[in-house]
Homo-oligomer: A and B are copies of this chain.
Amino acid sequence: ATRLLTERDKSKVSKETDALSLLYCERLCFLSDCIARVQRFLVTRLGEDWIFLVLLGITMALVSWTMDYASAKSLQAYKWIHGELRGNIPLQYLAWVSYPLIFILFSSLFCHLVSPQAIGSGIPELKTILRGVVLKEYLTLKAFVAKVIGLTAALGSGMPVGKEGPFVHIASICAAVLSRFMSFFSGVYQVNILTVGCAVGVGCCFGTPLGGVLFSIEVTSTYFAVRNYWRGYFAATFSAFIFRVLSVFNKDAVTITALFRTNFRMDFPFDLQELPAFAIIGISCGFLGAFFVYLNRHVVLFMRRPNAMTRFLTKHRLLFPAVVTLVIATLTFPPGFGQFMAGELMPRECINSLFDNFTWTKISGSPPPVGLGRSAAWLHPDVSVFIILLLFLLMKFWMSAVATTMPIPSGAFMPVFILGAAFGRLVGEIMATLFPHGIVFDGILYRIIPGGYAVIGAAALTGAVTHTVSTAVICFELTGQISHILPMMVAVILANMVAQGLQPSLYDSIIQVKKLPYLPELGFGHMSQYNIFVEDIMVTKVNFISSQSTYREVKLLLDSSSLKSIPLVDSKESMILLGSIDRLELLALCDWWLSPERRLLMQVRSTVLSAGIQLDLLTSSCRLQGSPVQEERNGPLPPPKPQEPSSNHTAPVPGELRGLHNSEYIFMTLNCCQPAHLCNLASYLLLQIKAWEEAEMDKPMEIDEIRVDPSPFQLVERTSLHKTHTLFSLLGLSHAYVTSIGKLVGVVALKEVRNLISA
């Protein structure tokens, strides 16, 4: 509408006819009426929940699709260059290595410059934020931009890094920013939107809404508000829908189907006799997953250990990703070692080929059948399929573990998914070799489908690494087939049981390495939780303020501690807890108490009262030309308007006096003085101010002026650790006061609880 207006403006200027002007006025009235109406409608409607969810869904679907599109084009260009240079091995190698190098270095540099918070997966930080801890800078627009661009570059490089983890972070930032934006309209700032962000992130990453909702449940880690279930379901479905419709419009797919659609036979997907093999996949994946977490953590810890090499690497930030990229690209170079590990396949091609419907051991000798497509990369004329799969598994295993530690936005889900698929495929091909004629049931021969094993392996390994069971659901949605549901769930559960016994999940491992303030779960066997009480762990030396506290005491307390909120008690003797006061409130009160504005106000008041005694003192050192006495104001002062200092006095104004400029009164006093007298006056005033401040500091605080939270969270001395832990994790507390018959006797912070549990 505004563009319409300016166009009309131009037309009016050019023609300058009265009739048109009248018409224009009428239209303007109509338009402004319309705008007002739309505005009113927007204000009332935009606060509604579902609009927020729809907007979040659309935004994330667009981001996800654009990112996929851009990285796919980049990979296409990569392969095109590689293909064009065929025959010239050195040049081909140079292109193969430098292309990802440029992208990874760009990603690393961009994140480093724009927002270092965008580095890594983001799920560990999100888990911590959902626990109730405020991590600064993690949910800003800056981090969003850095993560989106950095991730696109990383995905476009063809390195084994994933999209899911960072995408959860991106969606959460988007949810937080969008919610803050919507609060302009409705005035209600929504909390608990991060869970929905999680669901949308997973949902539109691969078009898996159900998996997204389940993943968000598992990631919230302790108590899940069922209200968010419905919202997550709605937003994730909408997002996944748009995401898939976009690819239909782009002619990537004929209709809405799964991303990695499989086409296994449905009448007899597997036989009961194959179950032991599925169980073996599950258990082995448990061990592999635990080892992956172990490897990843030790790479990170090694890089953090202070020695000459790491110091050197920290100084030259880009060296580590450059070396890693160089090594990985060299090893996967298709005409080189890459031919023995299907090095030419990009991550998504890997998955598609591992999930295909052929049995590779059967077709390895003969000419490739129709429709084999990219799977041909796995078939080497001289080397067995088993060796290629095994090499792929071994090489990609350490590559993935190392690549996900690079300082770029990168997730481990996709690389681990590929590893799991390769492992499952390996077991499947072995099974197909052991039972070359398939399995007989009721007189009918059923072939073994190695692709089905690959799907199960992928779900089991990702489940083991992340300690989640929703990976099974993500797998169903990714492949569009649910016929393997029971063996897959059995495999995922077995993998989880093994992995949970051996190692923490990848996210918890990163939380531990990064020392994020996260409250771990209480184990089931932790029987001491009922025998340990709050009185055993509370800190009895509590910083508090009483209603008789002076400003000096408050200021001392604020300077000596960094508490976010300070308990307020009735008096030092009774110690009855009245509530808690926010640190910022106290700081503001102290600042106001000693502020020049208040001092002047008090001065003027006393001036009016003592009929100019104070003023006489001033006139002894300089002539007074008209003193405009300020009116006494009721209520709080308006914010002082900054005034330009006038240029007719040249004496240097000391730093402490800078505030004086803000008030008219002193300003006029100074204005009328001669430069020669100024130094004397300044030092005199300074002394006077100091004396006044000292006197004011000893006055008791005015508690009525500030907001007191009347219901800080309270425990009693005999509250058990179990109950404390439940309350802390349920309500996301950071601290709680311990009272005894209303008296404040101690305080328990998250730190104490955490220390006790991890000890």
Contact = CB atoms under 8 A, between A and B. Distances in A.
A482 B476 contact: yes
16 contacts: A210-B485, A210-B489, A223-B224, A223-B226, A224-B224, A233-B493, A234-B493, A237-B490, A248-B272, A255-B272, A257-B269, A263-B266, A710-B717, A711-B716, A739-B742, A742-B742
Contacts of A476: 476, 482
A511 interface: no
Interface stretch (A6-14, A139-147, A214-222, A426-434): A214-222
Contact of A718 (B49, B255, B486, B711): B711
Contact of A715 (B240, B521, B711, B741): B711
A578 B742 CA distance: 8
A641 to B, nearest CB: 35
A254 interface: yes
Contacts of A230: 469, 496
A570 to B, nearest CB: 7
Interface in A229-269: 229-230, 233-234, 237, 240-241, 244-245, 248, 254-258, 261, 263, 266-269
A97 interface: no
Given A224-B217, A230-B469, A486 B269 contact: no
A741 B741 CA distance: 10
A731 interface: yes
A669 interface: no
Interface in A702-739: 710-711, 714-719, 723, 730-731, 739
B229 A218 contact: yes
Nearest to A579: B716
Contact of A716 (B229, B248, B710, B717): B710
A743 interface: yes
Given A233-B489, A237-B490, A741-B742, 11 more contacts: A209-B486, A210-B473, A221-B226, A223-B226, A230-B469, A233-B493, A254-B441, A256-B270, A266-B266, A482-B482, A710-B718
Contact of A220 (B226, B258, B570): B226
A694 interface: no
A227 interface: yes
Interface of A: 49, 209-210, 214, 217-218, 220-227, 229-230, 233-234, 237, 240-241, 244-245, 248, 254-258, 261, 263, 266-272, 441-442, 469, 473, 476-477, 480-483, 485-487, 489-490, 493, 496, 521, 524, 570, 576-578, 710-711, 714-719, 723, 730-731, 739, 741-743
B221 A223 contact: no
Nearest to A262: B266
A263 B483 CA distance: 11
Contacts of A441: 254-255
Interface SS of chain A: helix, strand, loop or mixed?
Answer: mixed
A569 to B, nearest CB: 10
Contact of A483 (B229, B480, B710, B717): B480
A567 to B, nearest CB: 13
A482 B477 contact: yes
Nearest to A223: B223
A485 B477 contact: yes
A430 B675 CA distance: 97
A269 B270 CA distance: 23
A424 to B, nearest CB: 18
Contacts of A483: 257-258, 480
Contacts of A473: 210
A716 B580 CA distance: 13
A303 B486 CA distance: 44
Q: Which 5 A-B pairs have the closest CB atoms?
A: A742-B742, A711-B716, A224-B224, A237-B489, A482-B482
A221 B442 CA distance: 47
Contact of A442 (B245, B254, B272): B254
A518 B483 CA distance: 39
A222 B228 CA distance: 10
Contact of A266 (B218, B222, B256, B480): B480
Listed residue (A221, A226, A240, A490) with the most chain B CB atoms within 10 angstroms of its CB: A226
Contact of A742 (B217, B244, B481, B577): B577
Contact of A268 (B241, B254, B717, B731): B254
B469 A233 contact: yes
A417 to B, nearest CB: 18
B229 A217 contact: yes
Contacts of A270: 255-256
Nearest to A50: B497
From A270, A711, A714, A731, name the one whose CB has the most chain B CB atoms within 10 angstroms: A711
B489 A209 contact: yes
A648 to B, nearest CB: 55
B710 A240 contact: no
B226 A255 contact: no
Given A225-B223, A719-B711, A486 B217 contact: no
A690 B226 CA distance: 59
A729 B516 CA distance: 30
A21 to B, nearest CB: 46
Nearest to A224: B224
Most buried by B among A220, A229, A240, A248: A229
Contacts of A269: 255, 257
Contacts of A229: 217-218, 224, 469
Nearest to A739: B742
Contacts of A266: 261, 263, 266, 480-481
Nearest to A231: B524
